[in-house]
Structures are given as structure tokens and as C-alpha cells.
Amino acid sequence: MVWEDPRIDELSDILPGANCGACGFAGCRAFAEAAIRGSVVPAECTVMCAFELEEFAETLGVDAGEVEKRVARLLCAGGSDVAVQKAQYFGLESCAAAVAVSGGGKGCAWGCVGLADCAVSCTFDAIRMSSFGLPVVDPANCTACNDCVIACPLDLFVLMPEKHHLIVQCRNLLEGESATSVCSAACNACGRCVADAEPGLIEMRSGLAVIDYDRIEWENPAAIARCPTNAIVWVEGAQVFPDLELVESEAT
């Protein structure tokens, strides 16, 4: 008989049982085993509430530790109010299906399709769809599990530390009027944010403003002041789009 540490079951019972993978392990039991080995600190499970975290740490006889909170951010602001619709999509209600067939009908080939694959994938009720067809992430519920990142066929979600406030909400690689002709919220590669930010923080790559998050301590709201399309924004808490009305749907 192979001996197994009895604390594995005890710790597994304390864990939420979500098996979401946010900790980097295949499931909660694997996380419990890693915690016993000392490979992780209890706080690396971002789903546990404060009470569960305290109980988990006490059971192990260790400090709970601290982990920088990360949240999912959407790199697109092209809702139906600002993005040009070139065709009407009538297929399966799925972003992946729409992208595979026709791109979903938007004029911007990089823009959010808005059929809620991300919201369907989220098991923590952290994503709701706005009435303009953009997913809105609730940082309080987001556990950085990565499911929305995987679900988006256009790679429009990224996980980043919540303390990062400067975000480019666009992936359009066109420049100037070519970009804004398909979405009025697109980055038009004007370069004003590059000029207004601390030197080296932002650069233009393939017609798109790119932030160097290794230098994020230099970030400042001044970088967004002259953006003509609001493609680059300063975010504190949830990303806020022009439309604040969230709609209930079967996806959520």
C-alpha cells in the first residue's frame, strides 16, 4: 500500500473544488499536494474566501502568503455603437463559430464578435455582456482562471495585475483612417500617447500602441489625454465602456 499524506484530503475539503486551474495546477487536489510540499503558498488559490484561506494556512501551519491580484482585461472597445457592421451573421451563437465562418460580420477583423463565448466559459459569474455586445469583467469576481483567455478565438483577453491601469483597448493593425473607418474606437497610430507618456513606456508596433509593462511604474494618466479615439484608457477597477447597461442572457 502506498502511503498518502492524510492532510491532502483535509486540505482538498477546504478548497472550493472549482478545479479552475487559476493556480497553475490541474485541480484542487493537485494544489493541496503542492501546498504540502511547500511548492506554493495558500494565497495562490485565488478562489478561496478569507475564511477558507485562513483555515487552509492553519491546517498546514504556514503563513497564507500574498499573491498579486490579476484580472482579465479586454483588448477591444469596439461595441456595436462604434464598430462598423459589414454583414449580418446568422450562424451558431458562438464567437468561435462566427470567426471560423465569416468573422462575425464586423468590419474590424480584430474586434470582439460579442457572442459571449467568454461569459459562457466563466464559472465565477465575472463576465456579463453589455447591450453593445462587449463583455464586461467584474474584478471582484474574477479569479484569473484563464478560461476566458482560452475561449476567445481572437485572443482579446489577457490576464494582468489589477494595479496596471494603462490599457490599449484595441488590436486593429490598420493605421489612420483605415482603422477608424471600421471602428471609431480603434487606435489610429497617431503616436500621441507615445509622445505624452514617459519615454520608453509606449511604442508603436505595426500600427498599434504597445505598452511595456516591465516599466509600468512609469505609467501616468497623461498618456491618454490626447488620444483622439479613446483607444488607450486609464482603468481603475472594472473597464468602463460608454454603455453601462448590462443585459441578462442565457450565457450568464
Q: pLDDT category, 242, cuts 50, 70, 90?
A: low
Q: How far apart are CA 12 and CA 225, in angstroms?
A: 49
CATH number for the region 70-239 comes to 3.30.70.20
Average pLDDT score, the chain? 91
Q: Do 212 and 202 contact (CB within 8 A), yes or no?
A: yes
Of the options 2.70.180.20, 1.10.10.10, 3.40.50.1100, 1.10.15.40, the CATH number for the domain spanning 7-60:
1.10.15.40
CA angle 33, 66, 239 (to 5 degrees): 110
Answer yes or no: is pLDDT of 104 > 90.
Answer: no
Alpha-carbon distances of 106 from 145, 200, 206, rounded to whole Å: 28, 33, 21
pLDDT for 233 equals 95
- Which SS3 state, helix, strand or coil, does residue 21 take? coil
Contacts of 39 (CB under 8 A, 6+ apart): none
pTM of the model: 0.84
Q: What residues does each domain of the chain span? A: 7-60, 70-239
Average pLDDT over every residue of 68-82: 95
- The per-residue pLDDT for range 152-194, each reduced to its tens digit, is 999 999 999 999 999 999 999 999 999 999 999 999 999 999 9
pLDDT in tens, 115-132: 999 999 999 999 999 999
